[in-house]
Structure 1
Amino acid sequence: MISYLSGIELIERIRYTHLRLDEEFDDLTEVELHVRLDGVDRTPYEILAYLLGWLQLVQQWEQAERRGEVVITPTATIRWNELGKLYAGFYEQYKDGTLEQLRQELRRSVQAWCQWIAELSEQELFGAGQRQWTANQAAWPLWKWLHINSVAPFQTFRTRIRKWKKIHVLHV
């Protein structure tokens, strides 16, 4: 299991994995953004929308809790066994974005995510029971929620976009 010694290390890992992922989009064209290929479960667009959706949703949970609201995860209308609906909402939300707009929005979201982490104490990040919303699905410390919604998908989707590009070359 991955563990961090400090919030700074978590931020560095988030930035590093995001940068590696973002580089994979450098040679994609606007036309390729929505191309679906057998062997890869998401288009490049869907990858970006998924990442944006999760980063923003988790921050919404945090903001709602800070306002004193009861947070229902993943949303008040979608349960954990209905994540396909959640993803469809992400895709709808970002459907009009260009490749560059989506990349810029992801960069801004990652920056906001890292700023949020920088403002948290080590106790908030690594202590048990620091947030009500972290106990809803699994009793994970906050850092694990942050990792699983940033570093982990950045790594996973970097692999998928690389696979997508290899398959795409065979079809061109």
Structure 2
Amino acid sequence: MGYTNKQQLLTEINKTAQLFIDEFSSIPESQKDVLVDGVDRTPSQMLAYQLGWLNLVKSWDDQELAGENPILPAPGYKWNRLGDLYHEFYKTYQSLSLQELILSFKQQIKIWNNWIESLSETTLFTKDDRNWTKPYPEAWTVAKFIHINSVAPFKSFRTKIRKWKKLHTAI
């Protein structure tokens, strides 16, 4: 993660988000729920995963600013059992078409841009500036949580969707 300022973080989020979402433009609606051997998620599940985390991470900050104490990762879920949370994400977004998922992703990135723009450099890069980051290791600032739940999975899931497309066309 080596960001030294907010603009670097925003630039990387937007770049990797665009590269990730562009991969879905060639997938037909009829194929959004197809699971292929060698890839652990369908295209719609990959998007639901991203949407779930984008909404969840921002909700931690929203809850704290509203005077609440957010429960991480989410009420009823533990860090060592995230598979159940992922299934909740899939269920939440399963009724959306591929185009609706893509649009929701783009809208959520805009929301994240506005949110990050509203945060000070201190809030982003100083450990414990937000209470919801305090229980975590020293390197886990708000910026680290943002990176781990945006840039990192955008890159790894771009690899997954590219593999899905390659294997799917080979069928």
TM norm structure 2:
0.97
Please report how far the alpha carbon of residue 82 of structure 1 lies from its aligned counterpart in structure 2 after TM superposition.
1.6
Q: How does 1:1-172 map to 2 (within 5 A)?
A: 2-139=1-138, 140-171=140-171
Deviations 1:104-143 (A, max 9, x none): 0000001101111111111111011111111234441110
The one-letter code of the counterpart of 1:105 is S
Please report how far the alpha carbon of residue 68 of structure 1 lies from its aligned counterpart in structure 2 after TM superposition.
1.0
Please report how far the alpha carbon of residue 169 of structure 1 lies from its aligned counterpart in structure 2 after TM superposition.
0.8
Whether the 8 Å contact between 2:127 and 2:133 is mirrored in structure 1 is: no
Q: Over aligned residue pairs, what C-alpha RMSD do you find?
A: 0.9
Please report how far the alpha carbon of residue 88 of structure 1 lies from its aligned counterpart in structure 2 after TM superposition.
0.7
Q: Which runs of 5+ in 1 are unaligned?
A: none
Q: Which runs of 5+ in 2 are unaligned?
A: none
Whether the 8 Å contact between 2:23 and 2:161 is mirrored in structure 1 is: yes
Aligned-partner Cα distance in 1 for 2:153–2:90:
16
Whether the 8 Å contact between 1:24 and 1:162 is mirrored in structure 2 is: yes
The one-letter code of the counterpart of 1:43 is T
Percent identical residues: 42
Aligned-partner Cα distance in 1 for 2:38–2:28:
20
Aligned-partner Cα distance in 1 for 2:58–2:137:
17
Aligned-partner Cα distance in 1 for 2:48–2:97:
11
Please report how far the alpha carbon of residue 157 of structure 1 lies from its aligned counterpart in structure 2 after TM superposition.
0.5
Aligned-partner Cα distance in 2 for 1:90–1:138:
26
SS at match of 1:26: coil
